[in-house]
Structure 1
């Protein structure tokens, strides 16, 4: 009953403002129709209020925000469909709402249009309104209000990929109506090119150069979401040729011709980020027909970027920094490293086949890591971009070649560095995905790299444990524990006994590794490596030892110290649980380790802080 009274009161107020446009809005009254009221109001009252609001907007002489906000709340419920939007009387002027220089009105109109994504029929109705779609596209690209631009982006995406998209083959065909409207309508398709092209700066109705770069960034962003045949291929050749595209569509324009990256560093950054994200998705083609295979991996992105010179361009800032402008390099080196990392991760076999670029990458990593001083590692100034690339490479490339050392050996265990430990943990652990065609090779290389690294760093485990015990440096201690856990749970595979391939980027044999490590035989699994020297005399006692206390720690609040101690204790206990589980599997072939399994099991049962005492150790500080 209260809702009915409130609705009638609001209707009467809106009618009064309609009768006298100079009358002020009672904002408090309008706000009383909050989300809960709007959800529960009678549908007849909802419709009556929306009719009044629609009639009021064209005559309103004051800030429309309260009216727009009330409309948004009234249409917010899922049950309020686009079909209901079309029954508003007087009809909602969607075109006027999109072109109005008022963000509140823009947002309200976008809320109305967004309702159409719920059914393919409604998508078709919107697609039939060419002037509305044209205004929607222009609003998205040209508005200076970021909230409006973001909502317009979402509406366009929702209409291109409506909620009904998965209704089957017939639905897919009907769902193409908005695609055809945007990409086959000369006015709309042409407006995207003209608004985003720098060649039209200064022409009537065109944004400024600065505003065009904003539009360019918005276009690049949405292309990543709707990559498909209509984006990749020519749609209206006469328009595309006008903007430099001879063979291709909107993707070619945006990725190759649109951005003047030589004179716009920010857009150069955006462009490299676009290439990286575009390259990162192997399963990204949108199926606009029922025969498209969702699961088939495509190399279109890589082939496209390589064919048009963008692949080499994106790599060059990491591989050949000496040739680049230092100012540009400050911003582009990291993006280039990200691109290289994605290429290696998503297309490892393609990377391995490019011997010149593999060598250039390794040379660059060797040079970069050798330049990092001990003081820089100690002060937390890790070369994160270089470490990212190193961790992204197929592990086989990191194995030493003849007299050239592995870049991995230049990552120190001391001075302790969080990012260095994370990199080592990732590389030593191998890959869990046994379905990967490179899983065996990667995991065999992970094992070999672990032994090669520990031979070059004989105090490795002592340094790792020392860092893990230094709870005063919580993040570094946790990273050190991640190295221990990574080796315990490693997905290692054996090396071959002989090699057939003559590739320079090939695995070692088991005999080669034994010679390099000076050992007749090496443990086959991570847990076995932990259960042999030097790890067993250092790592296992540390894991079994009771958790540290926080007494006598100088500096910092007691609460912060307790939190750090507990977090490290939990991570240590989780690592011990990993050891216990792996020992259960390993013990079958090594019954002599039964006593160790029992000891570890007893400590696991005590919990993270169980058995802690002064004897267990106090929080220390690391001497760097």
Structure 2
């Protein structure tokens, strides 16, 4: 065991502070010791520090956080037994009552170590004052951190002390995972008057004692108590739902702690607390909810219900929430804004966790729920597009039993058909994905299937079959929905929508579907409702000309229309960072990577499905092999090519391979369906196979659509109104003034267009392919300089310092007769940016025909002798010579040379072109 090097120094420092509390703490020294404390530290070091700190805390005159965190770090490897062995003993109650959150956290941390062993929890349960102080600190503290730490310590003690379920007549499934405790701490909390009474008194609004706390603090305590009751109900429903101490419960006009919290404690006129109460009801529904299975033991009225739901129904709480959902006028407008969400969340929770209980309600109530959802979904496309979707109603729709939606479709009021895929909406896509994916797979380790009795409106198999039916219903009503899904998935600017669309793809591929067999569609005795259609009746919903329907989601995406839309998208290389500003620097949320990864996961899911179901089908080996190759390439696909042209060719080849794969895949699917006889009604009465209209043999020369996918959804661009005469006059004046500026001698073009600059790599990145390429006709266009020329301007020299006269007027001569001014003459070879070059072009053309390169050199030397003081850069800009175009074209082998085209016949025919003397010719053999 090692002793930290700074231990003695810290110990001496803390003793000095204990002697003189005004001495400031040495924070750096204490932090150094924290780093040196490890598991191998001498066991005497933490004990000594803990004793010293406990003595120092009552007299310390500054923030105790440094030394309390030191004590927590020192006792990290201490057990509760080690802490109890410290002398003098730790006073936990004093730590709880201290008006300092750091001290409270230290005491709670030390007490929380008793939650690891049942025997330690039993020791704590033997001290009623300690438990009462813990409960009081948890409910009354104003520090959120202290309240959470107190609840964690309290719950750890309850959880470790959970007794065996055999000791009680009633128990829950969660209670079966008991830790072998004696239940002493549970009895201390729920049967001790001092402790149990605090749960009521600290949260009751009717307690008008002189030292009563403010109502605001009590509402905070109420929220903490409701959370505790929900967690305790999962382990011991009997303790929270039955009377424990009638004397205390009668004082608050209640029968149990659960009844007190649900019916007596909360003031519903406080809309925030009303919202918390509704959330409390929703959380209670999770306790022993049956879902699509039935427990082997039953504590509720039926296998469709639970003790929590029975409690809510018996006290009228469940019915009141349903009424508030169906008729919102019963709530105040302000209250409704806060409670609408919790009310919808409760309805969704009830529909999802108690599907058979919901279906046993009167048909009038179910029709009202369906109509309520349909009305909320009847909104404009603009509302769907701009984030005003009814999210709460969509959650309820996704939670309803699927057989109820199929039943509603028989009456033409299926709200699922009102959910759009265009414009894309994240909430709508999430709801569609949940409904069409089917029910979650059951874990039947502790339950039995509900259909064993044959008297249930729905079960797992019916829900799985109904999900498949709803998919083809929706596809039949929205034939372009796969196109909309793929388009939404490719909109990187709307990350949430893109990821939701990709999640929808995965939900369909991995869907839990079931074929409509005889057992699934068998009617429920004494009821004609919720009857699913037969497989042959479902064939009328085929997207093709009546035929086979896939039996699973993986097969559904491999048949038209998904086959020709979804598969090319999955094989298409992901978007790159180059499509963002600054090469990906603008993608601060890693949208490109998230979308590429999600898309890759869909491809992996499809590969796994084909590997499991397609291995026994002839012709699927090549398809699985191709998918395996794409999966092995990772989210980014094959390595990007070096040049844009090669990359484009590579993408086209990849897409060609994909379409060839689709053609082969569809042929294999049709063959497999015939051999496996997936659906026996498909080949009758001369019906065509689905997708016959998409045959590749009908269009063997078709090309893949390689056009780029738009980044944003379609949007009608608003058009401005026409200008009135006054506005039009202002615009004309502005344009005229702007043109005068641009055509004036002092206007400058900022971007460089010199021959040297154009060859720079950075400049080529901003090259304009429409107007930047030199052409023959461009020689006649007016050109502008990058910077204005100083020479030849009508300057008034007296307005400038004399030192600049020679610079702005190079021909200035102080000894000249006209006070230094020399008349300006035409300068050969110098072009002004504001002059027309039409006349100069004739001169240059003549020079080029006569080959006067030597004369140009002589003229250049003469200009230099005359004192032309142009700096090299300005001279380069002065001489606007179109040499780049000629050099580049000559190097390219003369693919296109306009001058050579017009002048190529000089040597053969003479100066007049075809040597016809200007008479039109016609004797030559020309083509």
Over residues 119-140 of structure 1, what are the superposed CA-to-partner deviations in whole Å (9 max), with x where a residue is unaligned? 3332233222222222221111
Alignment of 1:70 with 2:70, yes or no, is yes
Cα distance 1:139–1:390, how it changes in 2: closer, same or farther (>3 A)?
A: same
Over residues 526-571 of structure 1, what are the superposed CA-to-partner deviations in whole Å (9 max), with x where a residue is unaligned? 33333333223333333344445566x4768634569544543443
**Which of 507, 512, 520 lines up with 1:486 in the alignment?**
507
Cα distance 1:54–1:256, how it changes in 2: closer, same or farther (>3 A)?
A: same
Cα distance 1:568–1:172, how it changes in 2: closer, same or farther (>3 A)?
A: closer
**Which of 532, 548, 564 lines up with 1:507 in the alignment?**
532
Over residues 386-435 of structure 1, what are the superposed CA-to-partner deviations in whole Å (9 max), with x where a residue is unaligned? 11111111111111344332100011111112221222122122134155
**Which of 176, 201, 208 lines up with 2:183 in the alignment?**
176
Alignment of 1:309 with 2:316, yes or no, is yes
Which residue in 1 is equivalent to 2:829? none
Please give the alpha-carbon distance, in whole angstroms, between the structure 2 residues aligned to 1:543 and 1:173: 53
**Match runs of 1:379-390 below 5 Å:** 379-390=386-397
Which residue in 2 is equivalent to 1:287? none
**Which of 95, 101, 104 lines up with 1:103 in the alignment?**
101
Q: Is the 8 A contact 1:10 1:29 kept in 2?
A: yes
Q: Is the 8 A contact 2:241 2:257 kept in 1?
A: yes
**Which of 101, 113, 116 lines up with 2:114 in the alignment?**
116
Please give the alpha-carbon distance, in whole angstroms, between the structure 2 residues aligned to 1:490 and 1:557: 38
**Which of 426, 429, 433 lines up with 1:425 in the alignment?**
433
Which residue in 1 is equivalent to 2:494? 473
Over residues 553-590 of structure 1, what are the superposed CA-to-partner deviations in whole Å (9 max), with x where a residue is unaligned? 47686345695445434433433343344345555786
Cα distance 1:520–1:322, how it changes in 2: closer, same or farther (>3 A)?
A: farther
Q: CA deviation at 1:50?
A: 2.5
Alignment of 1:571 with 2:612, yes or no, is no
In structure 2, runs of 5+ residues without a counterpart are 169-177, 291-296, 451-458, 641-646, 653-705, 716-927
Alignment of 1:225 with 2:252, yes or no, is no
Alignment of 1:249 with 2:339, yes or no, is no
Q: CA deviation at 1:382?
A: 2.3
Aligned residues: 608
The SS at the match of 1:538 is helix
Which residue in 2 is equivalent to 1:347? 354
**Which of 351, 368, 371 lines up with 2:376 in the alignment?**
368
* More off after superposition, 535-544 vs 234-243: 535-544
Q: Is the 8 A contact 1:485 1:575 kept in 2?
A: yes
Cα distance 1:27–1:599, how it changes in 2: closer, same or farther (>3 A)?
A: closer
Over residues 268-313 of structure 1, what are the superposed CA-to-partner deviations in whole Å (9 max), with x where a residue is unaligned? 11111111112123279xxxxxx999xx998111111111122123
Q: Is the 8 A contact 1:223 1:231 kept in 2?
A: yes
Which residue in 2 is equivalent to 1:405? 413
**Which of 562, 572, 580 lines up with 1:535 in the alignment?**
562
Alignment of 1:623 with 2:727, yes or no, is no
Structure ranking higher on relative contact order (CA contacts 8 Å, 6+ apart): 1
**Which of 484, 492, 505 lines up with 1:463 in the alignment?**
484
Please give the alpha-carbon distance, in whole angstroms, between the structure 2 residues aligned to 1:298 and 1:36: 57
Please give the alpha-carbon distance, in whole angstroms, between the structure 2 residues aligned to 1:161 and 1:83: 19
Cα distance 1:579–1:126, how it changes in 2: closer, same or farther (>3 A)?
A: closer
Please give the alpha-carbon distance, in whole angstroms, between the structure 2 residues aligned to 1:586 and 1:121: 54
Q: CA deviation at 1:42?
A: 1.6
Cα distance 1:593–1:155, how it changes in 2: closer, same or farther (>3 A)?
A: closer
Q: Is the 8 A contact 1:126 1:133 kept in 2?
A: yes
Cα distance 1:522–1:16, how it changes in 2: closer, same or farther (>3 A)?
A: closer
Cα distance 1:82–1:283, how it changes in 2: closer, same or farther (>3 A)?
A: farther
Please give the alpha-carbon distance, in whole angstroms, between the structure 2 residues aligned to 1:36 and 1:619: 59
Alignment of 1:446 with 2:446, yes or no, is no
Please give the alpha-carbon distance, in whole angstroms, between the structure 2 residues aligned to 1:354 and 1:504: 12
Q: CA deviation at 1:40?
A: 4.2
**Which of 344, 356, 359 lines up with 1:337 in the alignment?**
344
| Larger Rg computed on CA atoms | 2
Cα distance 1:89–1:366, how it changes in 2: closer, same or farther (>3 A)?
A: same
Alignment of 1:53 with 2:34, yes or no, is no
Alignment of 1:161 with 2:159, yes or no, is yes
Q: CA deviation at 1:13?
A: 3.1
Please state which structure has a larger fraction of its residues in helix.
1
Q: CA deviation at 1:341?
A: 1.5
**Match runs of 1:178-217 below 5 Å:** 178-201=185-208, 203-217=209-223
* More off after superposition, 25-34 vs 554-563: 554-563
Cα distance 1:455–1:218, how it changes in 2: closer, same or farther (>3 A)?
A: same
**Which of 278, 283, 304 lines up with 2:284 in the alignment?**
278
Which residue in 2 is equivalent to 1:87? 85
Q: CA deviation at 1:163?
A: 7.4
Q: CA deviation at 1:336?
A: 1.4
* More off after superposition, 447-456 vs 121-130: 121-130
Which residue in 2 is equivalent to 1:136? 134
Please give the alpha-carbon distance, in whole angstroms, between the structure 2 residues aligned to 1:480 and 1:63: 52
Cα distance 1:352–1:22, how it changes in 2: closer, same or farther (>3 A)?
A: same
**Which of 142, 145, 148 lines up with 1:147 in the alignment?**
145
The SS at the match of 2:87 is coil
* More off after superposition, 431-440 vs 409-418: 431-440
Cα distance 1:307–1:557, how it changes in 2: closer, same or farther (>3 A)?
A: farther
Q: CA deviation at 1:441?
A: 0.5
* More off after superposition, 586-595 vs 499-508: 586-595
Q: Is the 8 A contact 1:118 1:163 kept in 2?
A: no
Which residue in 2 is equivalent to 1:318? 325
Q: CA RMSD in A?
A: 3.3
Which residue in 1 is equivalent to 2:886? none
In structure 1, runs of 5+ residues without a counterpart are 285-290
